[in-house]
Amino acid sequence: MARQASLSGYLELLPQERLAELHLLDTLRGIFESHGYGSLETRAVETVETLLQKGEIDKEIYTVSRIHDDGAKDARLALRFDNTVPFARYVTENAGHLAFPYRRYQIQKVWRGERPQAGRFREFTQADIDIVGDGALPPRADVEIAVVMASALEALQIGDFTMRINSRKLSEGFYRAIGIEQTAEVLRAVDKLEKIGPARVEQEIMETAGATSEQAQQALALAQIRTPDVSFVEQVRALLPDQTGHELLEEGLAEVTEVIHEMSIRVPGRAVADLSIARGLDYYTGTVFETVLHDHPQLGSICSGGRYESLATKGKRTFPGVGLSIGVTRLLSALFDSGELVASRSVPTAVYVTLRSDDDWGAAQNVADTLRSRGINAEVALSAEKFGKQIKYADKRGIPFVWFTDDDGRHEVKDIRSGDQVQADPASWTPADEDLSPQIIRKTADL
């Protein structure tokens, strides 16, 4: 993984790494589909206007243009920076053809003009799941999305992780209850807490939100609440002993309580109420999520998202939703670099069918076809080189078995790892289950 890239910020995997990536993506698809989520792909480009409507990301957008400009006044196009904004556009354009609540998963590449560094890429794959309603979406959708994604992360067997959960309603309602009106500025400041520390966050709250020192300290006290259960509710109320609270605060407390409670049943030990989580993008309006991998804290959040009430609108019609996204490339790069995730071989081929002479190519293809018809991946040599050279090629490719056929049509297969060679019939011979396809090997992180 520590290879020299010809273009920084763009990751190209070796065959063995690509097999591991495909296994990870197939695992995610299986979990998502088992919960009723259907696959969606959207176009790579959106109009610049569409992308700029959602958050402060103008410096990260890659615009798209033709080399030859004929003067046509077409809309300016740009590559998508996430899957959520294109999804919102897709929903509004195709609402008449969708059944709501609409559940979808989307696994595609996105592009951001970020400065390349460890774990940060300019082109990378994201895996998203969302539930979208028409006009309304019950809060239990937030619960479902969290449970599904936590189940998917467990299925990946990538090590211990924690999903940190808060609600922007909870935070905003608390800020209003203590007299702060510029709540967006406080949320943006608190979102930087782990990067810049409490002292600078307190200063920023006072400077940008017009808060007093006491109010800023109360906001920081809220952000420091973390519980693995619903006891966070009492801790929040303890910060407001002489006040009745705020309606938005009560909604947020109730919604986070439901998520934490249900996750403790469905995926125990995976969720914590963390009232420092705010999320930077402006379109989140309710529950927000961030997920940390215990063996790789330097990665930050590997899976994040939240609730949005008005990301997708069409006239007076609104499509509220909730979604979560995994940074697949970011996660994979860390697992590859640490040696935790490897494939047992670099190709799906289980059997390499050799040639005694070039005239045997057709017969060798018949052998391979028989094996393939029985679910055994096979490939055939392209030329009749010396057997030693053919075996060496198969070994370099990581193919475990080599097939031989003599002049009388008798077949033998050799396990080139052990050297064992036995008679075999292409219509009945079967390798061990673990040799049928590459195995994805997960090792403990050596940190």
Backbone angles phi, psi at 205, to 5 degrees: -60, -45
Q: 145 Cβ partners below 8 Å, 6+ apart?
A: 129, 130, 131, 305, 322, 323, 324
Tokens of 114: 């970020």
Residue 130 marked ligand-binding: yes
Q: How many helices (H) and strands (E) are present in the chain, helices listed first?
A: 15, 19
**Strand ranges inside 41-138, DSSP E:** 45-47, 63-64, 77-79, 102-111, 123-132
Residue 83 marked ligand-binding: yes
Residue 112 marked ligand-binding: yes
Residue 3 marked ligand-binding: no
Residue 4 marked ligand-binding: no
Residue 283 marked ligand-binding: yes
Residue 229 marked ligand-binding: no
Residue 70 marked ligand-binding: no
How far apart (Å, rounded) are the C-alpha atoms in residues 375 and 44? 35
Backbone angles phi, psi at 76, to 5 degrees: -70, 135
Beta-sheet pairing, 317-327 with 123-132? antiparallel
Alpha helices (H) in 37-139, listed in sequence order: 48-52, 84-94
Residue 425 marked ligand-binding: no
Cis previous bond, 101, omega within 30: yes
**Strand ranges inside 168-234, DSSP E:** 226-227
Counting beta carbons within 10 angstroms of the beta carbon of residue 446, is it exposed (0 to 12), middle (13 to 18) or buried (19 or more)?
A: exposed
Beta-sheet pairing, 77-79 with 45-47? antiparallel
Cβ proximity of 215 and 178 under 8 Å: yes
Tokens of 417: 């790892």
Annotated binding site: 82-84, 112, 126, 130, 279, 283-284
Annotated binding-site ranges for L-histidine: 82-84, 112, 126, 130, 279, 283-284
